[in-house]
Amino acid sequence: MIADLQCVVLDCPEPAELAAFYGLILGGTVNQPDRRWAVSDDWATLHTPSGVVLAFQRAADHHPPLWPDPSRPQQFHLDFGVADLDRAEEEVLAHGATVLDAGADGRGWRIYADPAGHPFCLVRH
- Per-residue pLDDT tens digits for 19-36: 999 999 999 999 999 988
- What are the C-alpha distances in Å from 89 to residues 78, 110, 111? 15, 9, 10
Q: What is the pLDDT of residue 18?
A: 97
Look at residue 70 and give its three-state secondary structure: coil
Residues 6 or more apart whose CB falls under 8 angstroms from that of 124 comprise: 81, 82, 83, 84, 85, 108, 109
Domains of the chain: 8-58 (3.10.180.10), 78-124 (3.10.180.10)
pLDDT at position 50: 95
For the chain, the average pLDDT equals 92
pLDDT band at 75; cut points 50, 70, 90: confident
Q: What is the pTM of this model?
A: 0.83
